[in-house]
Structures are given as structure tokens and as C-alpha cells.
Amino acid sequence: MQDVKLFLLVYIVFICTSCNRYNDRDFRLNDNKGGYTVEFQSSKNKERDSLVVKGNVYDQDSKKPLAATFINFYCEKVQTDATGFYQFKIHLNLDVEYFFRAISIGYKTVNTEIIPLIKSDTLIIDFYLDKDETPIFHCN
């Protein structure tokens, strides 16, 4: 009986870990069913005072890219292209707390938690947005 329980436990863990749909990055849930992943990429040059922030925005259910999504960072904003990709450069200040927001019409907004930045070349944030079923009213 113990062998069967152990086998089932190993099998369930294997299935759960092999079905990772977020490219082996830590998926962080948002309070509205969407989420995001974060990854830093570094090179040997640690003296940089700027950081490239880039990534993609996807539909949470279909995993299709979302064009025309705004990525906000403080008062700055960029828009994703037709493939859901965005990229911008920020001045790196390790004393400032950074968070990012993805906003797209027809989808729920996803906010990151505060991301402690490190001296690296690139910060990759992929957003996964859940559809917003709230009707949009047009008043005349």
C-alpha cells in the first residue's frame, strides 16, 4: 500500500511540474486571476546605470499575444506591438521601489508587486491578462 501511495505522489508531482505553461519562470498570481513572470538577464558588465525592461503580454486563457496593451511604469507608458511585445529603458536607481502595470481594453489590469531591481542588463516581465466580462457602456 505504501508503494502505491508513493507512486501516486511521484506521478502527480511529475504531471504538475511537466505542465508548466509559463516557460519555467515563477508565475505570480494577481488579485484578478491574471499574473506575470519575472526574469533578470545579466552580462559581465555590472556598471550600467540603466535597465532594459521588455516582455510580452498574453491572453491568460488562450496564450495569444495582446497588441495595443499599455505597460505603465510610474508616469511612463509604452504600448505593445502587434505581437504583444514591448521594450523600454529606465534609469536604474536601486533606492527606488519599482512596480509595473499592464492595461488592455477588455481585460483586467495586472499590477506587479514591487520588484527589487539589481544591476543587470535586462528585466523580462511577461504579463498574462484575464478577460474582463464587465460591459463597456457608451453614454451619449
**In whole angstroms, what is the distance from residue 132 CA to residue 109 CA?**
9
Task: Count the Cβ atoms, other than its own, within 10 Å of residue 123.
Answer: 21
The span from the CA of 117 to the CA of 16, in Å, is 30
C-beta atoms surrounding 112 within 10 Å: 18
What's the pLDDT at 136? 72
Q: State the first-to-last Cα distance of the chain, in angstroms, to the nearest integer.
A: 69
Domains and CATH numbers, the chain: 23-129 (2.60.40.1120)
Percent of the chain with pLDDT over 70: 72
Neighbours of 31 (CB within 10 A): 9
21-50 pLDDT tens trace = 334 457 666 666 789 999 988 866 555 788
Q: Can you list the residues of the chain whose pLDDT is less than 50?
A: 9-24
pLDDT (0 to 100) of residue 11: 46
